[in-house]
Amino acid sequence: MSSSSPSLTRDTHAGHTAQRLTGRVAVVTGASSGIGAATARRLAADGAAVALLGRRAERLRALADELGPTTTAPILPVTTDLADPKAIDTAARTITATLGPVDLVVANAGVMLGAPYETAHTEEWDRMIDVNLRGLLHTARAFTADLLAAAAQGRPADLVHVGSVAGHSLYPGWSVYCATKSAVAHLTRNLRAELGPRGVRVKNVEPGVTVTELGHDMRDISMQTSLTRMRTDLRPLTAEDIADTIAFAVSVPTHINVAELVVVPVQQG
């Protein structure tokens, strides 16, 4: 591998990260915390203009205020309920009017609500389907025209789905969450077949055990305890680990698509 090839290791020469994404316009959903916030920080550090999408306006503004002084590219917080397709379309119009056409989308927003199947609150099922699947679908659709236009001009065009190893593993008590992530995995494969021939790189990043806020709001206390144990019984990933992985995947040469990335702690196997 030549010294100019992208890698997961940040280029800290001269005290800064290499500006691999200068000139690109990125959208990150679920940017108010966790993997979304870490990814926004990393993409901004790599030179991209970044639109921050999420429901928590104060957190988005705080992140924008944090990132603004660190980059010459614009940072745009856009408060959006990603379970509302009309809100996503409105956000997309705001972003393109302010930052220009989008060529990098990280559909990261998600919820993880575990419970035994027979006792689960079904409104939690609906919420996971609305955010993890419908929200991701409408996010991708809102920016597909921009991505296709970028690809037609020979520029990089990336649609990144943040899935989960739960999409192809067995986790009792997490059946509906696993089902939504399985849907994301197969959706990604089919969109890759549909959009890839036209130059859009569609990819699925599937984290294993990662410490974030994900799951903190589930109603089943026993599943909260189980999740805490899962994260303490091994050395888990951090949100920054996943952000670095995403940054690598979108910075490779335009003829390469890192299509599926399973990223797990070593102890998870």
Report whether 166 contacts 185 (CB < 8 A). no
Structure tokens at 189: 């494969």
CA distance 169 to 182: 9
CA distance 269 to 267: 5
CA distance 90 to 93: 5
Q: Please indicate whether residue 171 is annotated as part of the active site.
A: no
Q: Which of 45, 91, 84 lies closest to 68, judged by CA?
A: 45
Quickly list DSSP for 137-170.
Answer: HHHHHHHHHHHHHHHHTT---EEEEE--GGGSS-
Residue among 125, 143, 174, 177 flagged as catalytic: 177
- As annotated, the active-site residues are 177
